[in-house]
Amino acid sequence: MSATTPDWTERIDAYPTHRIAGFDVRAGRPLPFGATRVPGGVNFSVYSNNATEMTLVLFQRGEPKPFAELTFPGAFRTGGAYAMTVLGLDADSIEYGYRADGPWQPEAGHRFDRDRILSDPYAAVISGGERWGEPRGGDLYRHRAALSYQDFDWAGDRQLDLPLRDLVIYELHVRGFTRHPSSGVAAPGTFAGLVEKIPYLKRLGVNCVELMPVFQFDENDTHGRQAPEGVRLYNYWGYSTVAFFAPHAAYAATSEYGMQVDEFKNLVKQLHRNGIEIILDVVFNHTAEGDERGPTISFRGLDNRTYYMLTPEGYYYNFSGTGNTLDCNQPVVRGFVLDCLRYWVSEFHVDGFRFDLASILDRASDGTPLPNPPLIEALAADPILRDTKLIAEAWDAGGLYQVGSFPNYCRWSEWNGKYRDTVRRFLKGDIGTTGELATRLLGSPDLYGERGPTASVNFVTAHDGFTMHDLVSYNEKHNDANGEDGNDGESHNRSWNCGHEGPTDDPEVLALRGRQVRNALLLLLCAHGVPMLLAGDEAGRTQHGNNNSYCLDEPSWFDWSLTETNADLLTFTRRVIAFRRSHPVLRRQLHATGRSPDGVLPEVSWHGTRAWTPDWSAHSRLIAMMFADHGDCVYLAVNAHWEGHEIELPQLPDERRWHLFADTWAACAAREPGQEPVLDEQDWAFLGPRSVMVLVARATDGIGQREEWRT
Amino acid sequence: MSLHTRMVNEDGVVTIRLAGEVDSRSAHRLNELIIEAAAASPSRLVLLTEELTYLSSAGLRCLVFAHQKMGPGVEIVLVGTRPDVAETIRMTGFDRSVIMQDAVDQ
C-alpha cells in the first residue's frame, strides 16, 4: 500500500464520539461483559439493574490514586448494561474499577455507595495480590481489576475427554502441593511449580487433578478470628471467591508480569500433554463479601439485591456457613455462573468442575429447595459444557443433604459422602455395615441406579477432614491451632487411632495403621465408581490430627521427604492404581448385576469364609466379592475382624488360576500388576486380621489368556 | 527509555539486536520487524537481548507472535536474556517456542 492511498481497512469503531475526563471515548458494546481489548483501546461493560449511575475508575498499575474517572453518559447505557470504549488506553499498564450510584436502603436490599470503588465481577486478572500473604493494594481499592491477553499458543491442545469410568482423581491444593522446601521445584507453591511435578503424577498413575479453589481469593481474609500465639491464620483453602474469572495471582510465579493467565494455561496444556485432566473446585454458593459486616468488594456494591439471598428485612441468608449466599437461581446470577464456567472451559481448556456445597445451587431466592433448579438444568444442557465433567458436593451448610438425590439430568456426578462414611465405619470394625459396604463397592446402585457407577465419586479422604494418615492415627480432631477453641471441623470422623492417639513408636500400632491405610486404598481403587485420592495420602501426609486446616498455611504443606520415608506406601499406591487401570472389570460404566454376560461367571458375586456364602448378618466383619466380565476376573476379600480367617476361594471354571495381587497382612502388600505370583493353594487362603486380599484370575503363563477367553 | 533495533539478514539467518525497553507501547515495533523478517523466509531468527533493560508481558508475547509467524520449522533463538525474564518465559511455557542461549553460536 502506498503512502498516498487511504487505508480503507481502518475500523470506524476506532474513532471517538465523546471526550470524557480527557479521554476519547465512544459507546461500547455490552457484550462480552468485562474489559476487552478492541482496536485502539479497551471496551468496558458492566451491568446493574438497580444502579442509577455508573463511573469507570482508572488507575496506573500499582498507583494508590486513580488517574481518571469517567461517568458513563446516558447514551452509553443499554437497559442495565453500561458500555464504553476508551481509546488510547494502554491495556497493559492500567487497573480499573467502578463506582455504582444508587439507593442505600438495606431493608429493600440496596447497598449502593458511590464512595467505594468496586471490582469488576468479570475481571480476567486481579492485581495487587501477587505475593501470598502480603497486604492487598491501597485502602481505596484492594482487589484491582486488570486485563489479560487471549493469544496463548495452545499448539492444538483441547480437552482430553477421558471417560469418567477411567478417571483416577487426585485432589490437591496448588500452594500446599509444592510450597514445602522439600518439593525441590524452582517456583514453589505455584502453577509453574505444579508443572514441575507432572512427572510425579504420571508415575503415580493418576489421570486427573482436582484443584482446590484457584479463582482469585483473599488469603488474608480471616473474618477477624484470633489466632493462638505463634500461629498466623489465613484463608488458606480459598473457598471464598473475590473474582470468578481470574486465576489466583498468588498462585502464579509470573503474576508480577501480570501473566497468571498464561501460567495457568501452560499448566493445563502440560497436564493434557501428559494425559492428565484438570477439574476445578468452584465455589458459587457464596462470595468473599460475607454478611453486612464484611468487605464490599464487588457484588454488594454493584447490585446487592440481585446477587444475594436476602431475608425480608434485607439481611443475608447464610446457607453456606460463611456469611452470605449467592442467589444462583436468580436469572442474572445464573447467567453470570454460566458465563464463568463457559469461560474456564473455552479459554482455559479445563475438563470439569466440582461444585462446592452444590445443594445451595438448588435453592430458590428464599432458600426453598427447588425440584427443577434452573441453574443445574442449564449447566447440564449447555453446549459449551457438553463434554465437561460436572461433580456436585451434594449437600450444604443449611442442612440440605442430597447424596443420591441431587437433581442430575443424567449428567451430574456426586461426591459420595456415604461411600466415605461406610468404608470408614467398616474398616474400624463397626458392626452392621457389611451389607452397605457391598452396595458402596458396587458403585452405590441404591443411589445411582439410573446413572450408573460413574455418578459416584468415591473417596475415603478429601481436603475437608482427616488425611488418610490421620484417619488411622486419631480418634478425635485436634484443631486448636485454628483459633476457634477446637470447636470447628467435623466431630464424627469415624476414625480410629489403632490404639494410641497421635504419634507413637509402638510397632504394633504402626503396623496396624499401615495395614488400615492400605486396606482403605484397596477398597477405594477396586470399587466401582470414580476414585478420588487426597494428595499426599500416598506418602502418609499428616496434619497432626487437624481435620479442618482451612486456615493453616505451613502445617498443610506436602512434605516431600515423606515420599522417601514412606516409599513403600507410595509404591503400594502406584501399584494399586496401575492394577485398576489394567482391569476393566473394576471400571464399569453400568452397575454390575448377578447376570453372567459370558455365561461363565456373574458380573458380581458375594462370598464369605465359604465361597458363594456371604455372611450379611449384623455381626459380620468379613465379606468377599468377585467381579467378572469377558474374561477379566478380580476377587477381593476384606476382613475387619481383629482375628484372621481361613477363606474358601471360589473355584474357577476353566484353566485359569488365582494369582495374588495384594495382601495387606503379608510383607509385600501388593505386587507389580501383571507379575502376580500364582497361589500354591487354590482352594483356600488365609485372610489376616484387619486386612484385605485381592486376587486375579488368569492362566499361569499369563499371556494371551484374556483374548482366548473372549473367543 | 525507548527501543532501538537493528536487523541483519545473513545466509538465511535474521538477527535482530534489541536495546532499551520492549513494553506495551513499543512491542508493536518488534512485531513489525518480525513480520519483515518472516518475509525473508529465514531458517533461524536470532534476538540479541543483552542490551534490553526491560521486557514486559507485551514483549514476551512478541516471542509467541514470532513463533506463529515463522512457523514450526524456524528456530527462534534468544541470546543473553536476563535471568528473571528467562524464568518468566519458562514458567509461562513460552520456552517451548524459543531456544535460550547465553551467547551467539559460533
pLDDT digits (tens, 9 = 90+) for A250-305: 999 999 888 999 999 999 999 999 999 999 999 999 999 999 999 999 999 999 99
What is the gyration radius of the CA atoms in chain B, in angstroms?
12
In the numeric block, the cell 486456615 is attached to: A551
Higher pLDDT among residues A226 and B75, named by residue: B75
Which distant-in-sequence residues (6+ apart) come within 8 Å of A220 by Cβ? Answer: A133, A135, A136, A234, A235
Bond prior to B83 in cis (omega within 30° of 0):
no
pLDDT in tens, A515-525: 999 999 999 99
Residue A275's CB is within 10 A of a number of other CB atoms, namely 13
Contact in structure between A350 and A280 (CB atoms under 8 Å): yes
* Of the listed ranges A66-80, A216-230, A406-420, the one predicted with least confidence: A216-230
Identify the pLDDT of residue B101: 86
pTM, to two decimals: 0.94
CB–CB of A262 and B68 under 8 A? no
| Least confident range of A147-151, A352-356, A432-436, A581-585 | A147-151
* pLDDT beyond 50 at A708: no
ipTM: 0.83
- A chain contacts of residue B67, beta-carbon cutoff 8 Å: 153
Annotate A319-346 with b (16+ C-beta within 10 A) or e (fewer). bbebbbbbbbbbeebbebbbbbbbbbbe
Q: What is the mean pLDDT of chain A?
A: 94
- pLDDT of A16 > 70? The answer is yes
> Could you read off the pLDDT of A618-660 as tens digits, one per residue?
999 999 999 999 899 999 999 999 999 999 999 998 899 999 9
Query: Alpha-carbon distance A32 to A569, whole Å?
Result: 50
For A429, A433, A545, A549, A671, the CA distances from A475, given in Å and listed in that order, are 14, 19, 9, 17, 31
The H-or-E segment that residue A45 falls in is: strand A41-47
Name the residue among A614, A588, A603, A610 with its Cα closest to residue A435: A614
Q: How would you classify the pairing of strands A125-127 and A144-146?
A: antiparallel
The residue to which cell 450444604 is assigned:
A396
Residues of B in contact with A255 (CB under 8 A): none
Query: Using alpha carbons only, what angle is made at residue A628 by residues A622 and A629, rounded to the nearest 5 degrees?
Result: 160
CB A300 within 8 A of CB A327: no
In this model, does residue A379 exceed pLDDT 50? yes
Q: Closest partner residue to B57 among A190, A259, A270, by Cβ?
A: A259
pLDDT at residue number A707 = 39
Is the pLDDT at A472 greater than 60? The verdict is yes
A290-316: burial string, b at 16+ Cβ within 10 Å, e else: bbeebebbbbbbbbbbbbbbbeeebeb
Active-site residue numbers of A? 356, 393
Question: Could you tell me which residues come within 8 angstroms of residue A71 by beta carbon, excluding any fewer than 6 positions away?
Answer: A20, A53, A54, A55, A56
* Mutation target among A95, A153, A263, A348 for the B interface, most CBs of B within 10 A: A153
A375 phi/psi in degrees, rounded to 5: -65, -45
pLDDT average, residue stretch A129-155:
87
* Contacting residues of B for A94, CB less than 8 Å apart: none
First to last CA, chain A: 71
Contact (CB<8Å) A92/B57: yes
Euclidean distance between the first and final Cα of chain B, in Å? Answer: 31
Encode pLDDT of A568-609 as tens digits: 999 999 999 999 999 999 999 999 999 998 788 999 999 999
Instruction: Give residue A10's pLDDT.
Output: 63
For residue A41, what are the CA distances in angstroms to A21, A85, A204, A505, B61? 16, 7, 48, 67, 18
Inter-chain residue contact B24 with A92, CB threshold 8 Å: yes
Give me the residue from B23, B24, B88 closest to A254, CB to CB.
Answer: B88
- Which range scores top for mean pLDDT: A12-21, A73-82, B22-31, B88-97? A73-82
Question: Closest partner residue to B88 among A93, A155, A257, by Cβ?
Answer: A257
Q: Is the Cβ pair A151, B64 closer than 8 Å? A: yes
From B60's Cα to the closest Cα of chain A, the distance in A is 10
Q: Residues of B at the A interface (Cβ-Cβ below 8 Å)?
A: 23-25, 56-58, 60-61, 64-65, 67-68, 87-88, 90-94, 96-97
By the CB < 8 Å criterion, does A272 face chain B?
Answer: no
Q: What is the mean predicted confidence (pLDDT) over B90-99?
A: 81
From the list B23, B58, B92, which residue is nearest A263 (CB)? B92
CB B6, CB B16: distance < 8 Å: yes
- Local confidence band at A709 (pLDDT 50, 70, 90 cut-offs): very low
Grid coordinates standing for A26?
Answer: 465512544
- Residues in chain B within 8 Å Cβ distance of A258: 57
CB half-sphere exposure, A138, CA atoms < 13 A: 13
Residue A270, amino acid = Q
The pLDDT of residue A627 is 97
What is the per-residue pLDDT for A1?
41
β-strand pairing of A622-629 with A604-607: antiparallel
Nearest CA in chain A to B86: A254
Is A263 an 8 Å CB contact of chain B?
yes
- Which helix (H) or strand (E) segment is B67 a member of? helix B57-70
B17 phi-psi bin (left φ>0, alpha ψ -120 to 50, beta other): beta
| Mean pLDDT on A88-106 | 95
Asked if the C-beta of A151 comes within 8 angstroms of chain B's C-beta atoms, the answer is yes
3-state secondary structure of A274: coil
Chain A and chain B share a number of CB contacts under 8 A equal to 60
Whether residue A198 lies within 8 A of chain B, CB to CB, comes out as no
B/e letters for A658-673, b = 16+ CB within 10 Å, e = fewer, are bbbbbbbbeeebbbeb
